[in-house]
Amino acid sequence: YERADSNRVGDPSSLEQTRQRLEKILREEVALLGGRSELVFLGGLSQGCTAALDIYLQLASKLRLGGFVGSVGFLPRDAMGFGNDERIEALLQDEVQRERPVWLQCAEDDQWVPWKELTEPSFADVMDRWPGLQLRTVRGRGHVIDQWEGDLLHEFM
């Protein structure tokens, strides 16, 4: 990130290195499944959620991934330095991928990934156009959602 108190991309080369590492892992997983990429799901928590969602946006339509589940992250957009707005639009035009499950659980009282200032606005223009998107909010634990993440994963499975 740009700074400890920011959710903006700080170093584009670091972002690109992360994308390359995650893409390599994803392609290896798809190969282990004999090419059955629809069985590959991504997810993460906090920075890991946003990083995993970033690579999902990069590769979901290309690799035909199965879906995504994450907690306390945001939709990585151009305005934050991610350069994904075109990929989001392409995913929304893909009749299969836009229906695949993309679930996010976000804390309305999150002190590090603020709901009103960051997360909610990052999804505002796609909510009505992304049938597979399920955006949930929780309140009461801030960023540290503990067992609520496990509950979401259990329901997702």
Per-residue pLDDT of 90-100, as tens digits, reads 999 999 999 99
The CA–CA distances, whole Å, from 119 to 34, 69, 116 equal 36, 15, 7
Region class of 81: left (phi > 0), else alpha (psi between -120 and 50), else beta: left
pLDDT, position 3:
56
- Structure tokens given for 141: 């634990």
Measured distance CA(147)–CA(34) in Å, rounded: 34
Measured distance CA(133)–CA(119) in Å, rounded: 14
> pLDDT means per 10 residues in the chain (157 residues)?
60 86 96 97 93 95 96 92 93 97 96 93 96 95 87 85
Neighbours of 14 (CB within 10 A): 11
pLDDT, position 145:
87
The CA–CA distances, whole Å, from 128 to 93, 120, 133, 147 equal 13, 13, 9, 29
Measured distance CA(54)–CA(33) in Å, rounded: 22
Reduced to 3 states (helix: H, G, I; strand: E, B; else coil), residue 41 is strand
pTM of the model: 0.90
Measured distance CA(37)–CA(35) in Å, rounded: 6
Identify the burial level of 32 via C-beta atoms within 10 angstroms of its C-beta, where 0-12 means exposed, 13-18 middle and 19 or more buried.
exposed
